[in-house]
């Protein structure tokens, strides 16, 4: 019988122990852990604000005070073996371009990989991510290769991190992962052909902002042909910058289009 004094790398408990150790260390430096996202830590001192985001052992640090950011790096170097890669350029499939006036985030390389893996590099691009008026049902034949559809939709889900324009169709396709059919695969490949038209589209964050929140929403009525539930879509802007968006089915069946709109508003 062995008594371990530290967690062995590779065991299922290792990631938990690492995050517990990191959280304890960073909180001792005055950071607070976000309750909405436990991997986000923030520190506010007068007008100085510093944010730290961790994914496994990759860390992003930002803030409005360069001195505070430098102190945070020095603190981490004193507790862990780190490698400072400088200003962020590429992180978890996302590409960053920053200047004094703006930050631009795109997943161009990731989108091109999806197009290449789908074998559509030479295909003609589509004008829209989904055919107008298309309602996916369970009437077409089942796919023989279920894994191909699931892998493709899974990759498209991650692409919605920076692509609002495909959120709705990816939300619809993700509902059919358990029994994918030929019609669903055709719809997924159309999304890939749509991406081919502009793989470098992304999110633009301007430094010139009035810090006012603006929200827009919409809904259809009984948009899901299988459950008759309506679908809500919304997006939220902070000044001119898009910061939040979603497409989801409503929890109950709305008896009118007006009811669907009110549920979307709430």
Strand partners, 52: 41, 61
Whole-number pLDDT of residue 2: 66
Phi, psi of 206 (to 5 degrees): -90, 145
pTM surpassing 0.85? no
Helix (H, G, I), strand (E, B) or coil at 206: strand
pLDDT of residue 140: 74
CATH of domain 14-86: 3.30.310
Give the DSSP per-residue string, 28-83.
TTT-EE-SS-TTEEEEEETTEEEEEEEETTEEEEEES-HHHHHHHHHHHHHHS---
pLDDT at res. 211: 86
Q: Where are the domains of the chain?
A: 14-86, 108-202, 209-265
pLDDT of residue 1: 64
DSSP state of 8: P
Q: What pLDDT tens digit does each residue of the chain (266 aa) get?
A: 667 777 777 777 888 888 999 999 999 999 999 999 999 999 999 899 999 999 988 999 999 999 999 999 999 999 998 899 989 999 888 999 988 888 999 999 999 999 999 999 889 999 999 888 777 776 778 888 888 999 999 999 999 999 999 999 998 898 888 888 888 899 999 999 999 999 999 999 988 888 899 999 988 888 777 788 898 989 999 989 999 998 888 888 988 989 998 888 88
What is the structure's pLDDT at 158? 94
Cα angle at 248 between 265 and 138, to 5 degrees? 135
């Amino acid at each position: 019988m062995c008594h371990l004094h530290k967690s062995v790398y590779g065991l299922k408990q290792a990631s938990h122990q690492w995050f517990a150790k990191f959280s304890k260390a960073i909180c001792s430096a005055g950071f607070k852990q976000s309750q909405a996202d436990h991997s986000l830590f923030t520190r506010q001192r007068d007008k100085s604000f510093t944010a730290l985001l961790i994914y496994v052992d990759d860390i992003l640090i930002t803030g409005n005070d360069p001195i505070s950011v430098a102190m945070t790096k020095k603190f981490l170097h004193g507790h862990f073996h780190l490698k400072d890669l400088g200003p962020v350029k590429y992180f978890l499939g996302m590409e960053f371009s920053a200047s004094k006036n703006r930050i631009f985030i795109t997943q161009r390389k990731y989108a091109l990989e999806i197009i290449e893996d789908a074998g559509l590099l030479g295909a003609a691009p589509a004008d829209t991510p989904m055919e107008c008026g298309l309602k996916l049902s369970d009437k077409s034949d089942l796919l023989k290769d279920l894994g191909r559809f699931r892998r493709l939709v899974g990759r498209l889900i991650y692409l919605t991190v920076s692509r609002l324009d495909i959120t709705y169709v990816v939300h619809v396709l993700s509902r059919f992962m358990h029994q994918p059919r030929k019609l669903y695969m055709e719809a997924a490949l159309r999304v890939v052909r749509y991406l081919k038209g502009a793989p470098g589209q992304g999110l633009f964050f301007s430094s010139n902002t009035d810090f006012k929140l603006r929200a827009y929403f919409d809904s259809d009525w009984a948009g899901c042909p299988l459950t008759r539930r309506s679908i809500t879509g919304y997006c939220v802007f902070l000044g001119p910058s898009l910061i939040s968006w979603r497409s989801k089915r409503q929890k109950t069946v709305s008896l009118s289009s007006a009811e669907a709109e009110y549920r979307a508003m709430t």
